[in-house]
A and B are shown apart, each in its own frame.
Chain A
Amino acid sequence: MAKRIMITDDALFMRVTLKNILTQHGYEVVAEASNGREAVELYEQHKPDLVFMDITMPEMDGLQALKEIRARDPNAKVVMCTAMGQKQMVVEAIQAGAKDFIVKPFQPERIIEAVQKVA
């Protein structure tokens, strides 16, 4: 069965880019969130196999959303996808349960590699 994926990013451009990469490789994008709060709500509704999570977003940032999603579903698989590559940020995300950390700008293959590894 095709993996069901949720995309979270405040930039429409990034959501479109990620969706194109994923659907071209046969994955299904079941939900798109534009901030962390929406991501937490949509995760509950759709229970995707994998979440791509931006960090710098309005309302609620991606680190907070990661923590809330993992608190409700300890099996949630979340991959961070962000322009912020600071070591401190990576460590905090991995400690909070993120399965991978992709720094923007990325090559499309890096996204597919994360799906294959994690989902």
Chain B
Amino acid sequence: MKAEYINPFVGAAVNVFQMMLGVTPQRGQLSARKGIFTSQQCNIVLGVTGQLEGQIIIGMSVFTADKIASKMLGTTIRTFDELAASAIAELGNMISGAALTELASKGINCNLSPPSLIRGTNVRISTLEIPTLVVPLQTELGDVEINVGLMERAK
């Protein structure tokens, strides 16, 4: 997978975090995985179709998810309910939507499926062996991991 495909997601995450959460993430070291799986506790999963196909996973700890949802809702959440889950999922939707907008401006057109939130560790999201790039982001609210597994559609 080309690094140029993950950079728009990292850039969009930084912008969305600044605008929605008032924090500026620090970008960590890029790494690669053979398949798309996650060892995080709380994962936003989005499907991508079009000229690129695959999945985006934005993973974080339950603790970080609580903090992010609290910030988005403007109140400390007591239970991680539907409202909190939808806030976290929508954050992933905003990041991915902005990244796909950026890719479209470079002539790569893709569509996005609605986000789903998956909780549980060592989740294998897809049986497809899509080479995946991972960028960790450090924020005041905790660490967030951006996983981008996209393949050019076979012509």
- Residues of chain A at the chain B interface (Cβ within 8 Å): 10-14, 16, 56-58, 82-88, 103-105
**Do residues A82 and B97 form an inter-chain contact, with CB atoms below 8 A?**
yes
Chain B 71-84: CB-based contact to A (< 8 A → 1; otherwise 0): 01100000000110
**Do residues A11 and B86 form an inter-chain contact, with CB atoms below 8 A?**
yes
- State how many residues of chain B have any CB contact under 8 Å with chain A: 25
Task: Report Cα–Cα, A87/B104, bound state, in Å.
Answer: 8
**Do residues B20 and A105 form an inter-chain contact, with CB atoms below 8 A?**
yes
Q: Which of A12, A84, A103, A105 contacts B112 (CB 8 A)?
A: A84
A87 proximity list for chain B (CB < 8 A): 104-105
- The B interface is mostly helix, strand or loop, or mixed, namely helix
Q: How many A-B residue pairs have CB under 8 A?
A: 61
- Residues of chain B at the chain A interface (Cβ within 8 Å): 16, 19-20, 72-73, 82-83, 86-87, 89-90, 93-94, 96-98, 100-101, 104-105, 109, 111-114
**Do residues B100 and A86 form an inter-chain contact, with CB atoms below 8 A?**
yes
Q: Quick one: given A13-B72, A56-B112, A105-B20, are A83 and B94 in contact (CB under 8 Å)?
A: yes
